[in-house]
Amino acid sequence: MVEVRQLQPKNWLPLALRHRLRRLEAKLRGEPAVLVYTQGYQHEIPGVPIDGLRGERILAALVREGVVGREAVVIPEIAPLTKLERVHAPDYVDSLTTPEVIEATFGLSVPPGVAARIIELQRRMTGGTLLAAWAARRQHTLAINLGGGLHHAHRDRGRGFCLINDVAVAIAELRSRGMHEPIAVIDLDIHDGDGTRALFAEDPSVWTFSIHNAHWGPTEAVSSTAIALGDGVGDDLYLATLRAELGPVLDRHRPHLVFYLAGCDPAHDDGLGNWNISDAGMLARDQYVITQLHRRGIHSIVWLLAGGYGSDAWRHSAGGLIAALGGPSQPRLPSTQTITLERYRHLAQVIDPRELSGVAPGELQFDESDLFGAAADNGLSGPGKVLGYYTPAGIELALERYGLLPRLRKLDFEPRIEIARDPEAGDTVRVFGDASDELLLIEVRVSRDRLTIPGMELLRIEWILLQNPRASWSAGRAPLPGQRHPGLRMFDDVALLMLVVCERLKLDGIVVVPSHYHVAAHYHGRMKFLDPVAEGRFRALLELLAGLPLADASNAVEHGRVRNPDASDQRGYEPAPLILPSSPALRRRFDSSWQQAASKAEAAARFELGPL
C-alpha cells in the first residue's frame, strides 16, 4: 500500500497554511524526494514548440504547494562523453558537435551556436538522469529529473528531438557500479520508446514498457511490452490499457528500480500530440503508476519529463508530482500566466529601483531639462527615460534579470538594445539580434495614457512585435495577418512584464487597442474590453471561431468571412480598448452592471462564418 504520511493538509486550507504544514513535515521527516534541476535546462529551439521554462515552472509549483523545498534541488553536471560511449557508437558521439546531426534529429537547420547549445542541453539533462538514478538507487526514494526522457536516440543516430538516450546511459552507469538487479522503463510518452527498446532488445534484465500512438520501429525484444493504440485516443482506452498491462509486467519482472517517462504529450492540449487525454486522465495515469510501484515495494523511482509541447505542458507534470509527493490528490494548479507573473514579481522585488531608474525612491533628480529648460529634451539630447522612469541601462538590466536576453543568446543572437523617445507617439524599445539594424527581434512601443479613462493613468501598449528573422515556418504553421517571420514564443512573458511595469509605476492599469483579431485573442481573458458591448461581441466571435486554429480564425476575420448580417457595415472584429486593471478603482469599473451589459451584447450578436 502507499505510505500514508501523518500530516495531510486538506486542499481547502489556504495555500500559505498548507505550505507551512508541509515544510514542517519535511523538517521532521526529510524531503520526500530528490529534485534535479539547473537553469541550464532552460532552452529555446527555433521551430520546435518546447517550453524552455517547463522545468522551472514545475519546480515553482512544487515549492508553492510546499511538497518540496528549494533545498531539495541538486544541480547536475554535464554527462562526460566517455559515459555516452557506453551505449552510443563512438563515431556518433564524435559527430554530435556537427549541425548535420541536429538537422537530421530535429528536422530543421539551426545556426552552429544553437546546435552547440542543444547538444550541451541534452548532455546536461543526461547528467541529470545519471544523478537522479544514483540518488534513487542509493536512497530508495523518488528522484525527479525536471528534464530528460530522451527515448528516441539509438546507438548510432538521433531521432525525434533526441540526440542522447539518457535512460540507457544511466542504466549503463548503474551496471558499472555493481547494480545487477532487474530494471524497468515505463514509458508513457505518446511516442514510441523505440530507441530505449532497441538498445536493450537483447538484455533480459531491462524491461521496456511503452504505450504509444504508433510503433516507430521493430518491437522485437527479449523483455518488452510495446502497445500502439492509434490516433484520437481518450481516457477510457488509455487508462484501461495501462491497468490491464502494467501490473502483470511488474509482477513478472520484479524490478528493483524503475525509470518513469511521464510524457505530457498524450494530453488533449498538447502542441504536437494527437490524443485527447483529459487533465483528470493524465493525473489518474501518474497516480496509478506510482501506486502500483509502491504496492510492490518499489520506491527507487526515477521520474523523467519526456515529451510535452506548448506553454501549458508543465501543468500536467506538476499535478502528478504534487499528488505523488503527498500533496492534494486533486491539485489546484495556477495558470501558466499566474506562475510566470509570480516569478516576475519576485524578481521585481529584489531589483534595486536605482538600478532601473538611477534614482532611489524619494530622491531628488536633476537632468538637462532642469538645468536648461524643457527645450533640452528635444529628441536630440539622448534617449532619456522610458515612461519617465527607466534608463537605457535599467531597461537592459531588467531584460537581463527577467531572462529575455539570455533566451535570445541561446538562439544564437547577440542582443543589442536601442531606445527611441517620441513625446507624441510614445517610447520605443527595440532589441536587435546583432550590431546591425537588420535583425529586429523585439519592438515595444509604450506611453502613459491619461485620455482613455479620465482621471486615471494607464500604461498604453501601442504594439508588441516579437519575431525571429532567422527561423522558417515549420510544418503545419502559417503566418498570422501582418506577421512576416515566426515568433519568439515570448509574447506572454513580455505582456506580463508590462503588468510588472504598471505595478512598479503605480499606474491604474494597462490599455491596448489590438489591430487584429489574433492579437485581441492573445490579450483577452486576463484583459477585458472597456466597452461592455465590444466585450460581448468579442466573446461571440470567440465562440464562433473556437473550432479553428488561431491563424485560420484570424485570416477568416481579416478576409471578411465573418459577417454580422444585422449590422449595416457587416464587420466582424472592430478594434477597441482592452483594459487590464491594476488599481482597485479601475477594477470597480468592471462591476455587475458591466457584466450584465457584456452578456446582453454577447447574446444579441449574430455573427456568421461564410465560405472560403
**Rounded distance, CA 139 to CA 124, Å?**
22
Whether 73 contacts 58, CB under 8 Å: no
Output the DSSP codes for 474-494: PTT--PPTT--S---S-HHHH
- Kindly report the average pLDDT of the chain as a whole number: 88
pLDDT in tens, 520-559: 998 998 899 999 999 999 999 999 998 888 888 888 888 8
Q: Does the structure show a pLDDT above 60 at 2?
A: no
**Rounded distance, CA 234 to CA 86, Å?**
39
Helix 166-176 to helix 112-139 angle, to the nearest 10 degrees? 40
Partners of 159 in beta bridges: 162
**Rounded distance, CA 149 to CA 128, Å?**
11
Q: Does the structure show a pLDDT above 90 at 280?
A: yes
- Percent of the chain scored above 90 by pLDDT? 64
Q: Please state which of the ranges 235-244, 367-376, 403-412, 583-592 shows the lowest mean pLDDT.
A: 367-376
CATH 3.40.800.20, applies to 32-334: yes
Helix, strand, coil shares of the chain, percent, nearest 5, are 40, 15, 45
How does residue 221 score in pLDDT terms, banded at 50, 70 and 90?
A: very high
How does residue 144 score in pLDDT terms, banded at 50, 70 and 90?
A: very high
**Rounded distance, CA 441 to CA 432, Å?**
5
Cell readout for 218 is 521493430
pLDDT of residue 571: 64
pLDDT in tens, 253-267: 999 999 999 999 999
Domain boundaries, the chain: 32-334, 335-512, 517-612
Output the pTM of the full model. Answer: 0.83
Pairing of strands 224-228, 206-212: parallel
Burial class (CB in 10 A: 0-12, 13-18, 19+), 537: buried
Average pLDDT for 339-349 = 89
Q: Please state which of the ranges 161-170, 350-359, 385-394 shows the lowest mean pLDDT.
A: 350-359
Partners of 563 in beta bridges: 608
Q: Does the structure show a pLDDT above 60 at 290?
A: yes
Q: Which helix (H) or strand (E) holds 210?
A: strand 206-212
What single-letter amino acid sits at 57?
R
Instruction: Write the DSSP symbol of residue 162.
Output: B
**Rounded distance, CA 548 to CA 183, Å?**
45
Whether 322 contacts 328, CB under 8 Å: yes
How does residue 279 score in pLDDT terms, banded at 50, 70 and 90?
A: very high
